[in-house]
Homo-oligomer: A and B are copies of this chain.
Amino acid sequence: MVIYLISNDDKMNKVQEFNEYRSKMNGKILSGSNKVIKRIFNLDTNAFTDGVIDQKTKEMIGLSSSLVLRCDDCVRYHLQTCYELGVSREELEEILSIGTLIGGTIVIPHLRRAIEFWEELEQQDV
């Protein structure tokens, strides 16, 4: 028998883990002197605000675009904002189904991780 000792304090769910790492590293990146990188981060915030298309629709567009490009972290980011903006589970499934059809079965592993992350968002909310 092998025993691993893991302290409880270190154990985070995937939502917290993602947000903490993302926040820590973004801080380091933006504390640098490179203006091009800073402006790209800035644009990322601006592109998803209400315009002639509302924010919720833009986030759904961002989610599907991230899924077909198979970027798990980008998917997680848009899942969170979609969840906060009131996207329903059924709406989520329709967005993911479009992304999986367009991007093919290689998208399925990312679909699995998206559903897992979404369910953590739901649990956190209870």
Name the interface size band of chain A: 35 or more
Copies in the complex: 6
Interface centre among A33, A74, A89 (most CB of B within 10 A): A74
Residues of B within 8 A of A88 (CB): 52
**Residue A126, interface by CB 8 Å:** no
**Residue A104, interface by CB 8 Å:** yes
Q: Whole-angstrom distance between the alpha carbons of A108 and B44 in the complex?
A: 11
- Closest-by-CB residue of B relative to A56 is B57
Question: Could you tell me if A94 and B3 are in contact, using CB atoms closer than 8 angstroms?
Answer: no
Query: Which of B21, B47, B104, B115 is the one whose CB lies under 8 Å from A112?
Result: B21
Chain A contact residues, CB within 8 Å of chain B: 1-9, 11, 21-22, 25-26, 28-29, 32-37, 39-41, 43-44, 46-48, 51-53, 57-58, 60-62, 64-74, 88-91, 93-109, 111-113, 115-116, 119
Mind listing 10 A-B residue pairs with CB under 8 Å? A5-B5, A22-B112, A35-B46, A36-B97, A37-B97, A37-B111, A39-B39, A53-B95, A64-B65, A74-B102
